[in-house]
Structure 1
Amino acid sequence: MADKASHNQGADQATPASFEQNLQALEDAVRRLEEGNLPLEESLHLYEDGVRAFRACQKMLQEADLKVRKLVETLEGELKEEAFEPPEQ
């Protein structure tokens, strides 16, 4: 299985993984680590892969957050872009 992770990393360098792919990789890493039957070396490698997937997801979410905008119509009828602010709860 470690070969699969190494193979995916090589593929990721050519084509960046999507948010969904990174999230799935993170979930898979957590599931396998929680099973608790891996050798230490493989567990450490899987943990590192999980951290990379987590950071990639976090970065993509931050970038998506920056792109969220709302369009506001001005008095002249033009659309103006403003930063999105979530409603207060």
Structure 2
Amino acid sequence: MEDTSTGTPPAGEMGYEQARDELVAVVRRLEAGGSTLEESLALWERGEELAAVCRRWLEGARARLDAVLAEDGEGPPDDTGAADGPE
């Protein structure tokens, strides 16, 4: 079902890329300024919804990767993001 006010689907029905692209557009509009307070608040709320959608997609992707790594006996990578160091 589409949001009749914007012509876009509800955030919960969006794929990651669609939510990310709309979130980028929302941020650009907010950064550009010129919106009324009411418009800015509506944009901010939409941005929060879109960010939550993106977060859920990324968390789901991480869980799937961790599951595959666990099946392969490799276990999930550490959360530091750092390499193991020089060999």
Query: Structure 2 length as normaliser, TM-score?
Result: 0.71
Distance 1:40 1:12 in 2: 23
- How high is the sequence identity, in percent, across the aligned residues? 27
Paired residues in the alignment total 74
Q: Which runs of 5+ in 2 are unaligned?
A: none
Distance 1:88 1:70 in 2: 18
More strand as a share of residues: 1
**Does residue 50 in structure 1 map to residue 34 in structure 2?**
no
**Does residue 85 in structure 1 map to residue 77 in structure 2?**
yes
Equivalent residue letter for 1:12: P
CA deviation after TM superposition for structure 1 residue 84, in Å: 3.0
Distance 1:70 1:18 in 2: 24
Query: Structure 1 length as normaliser, TM-score?
Result: 0.70
Largest Rg, 1 or 2: 1
Q: CA RMSD in A?
A: 2.2
- Segments of 4+ moved more than 2 angstroms: 80-84
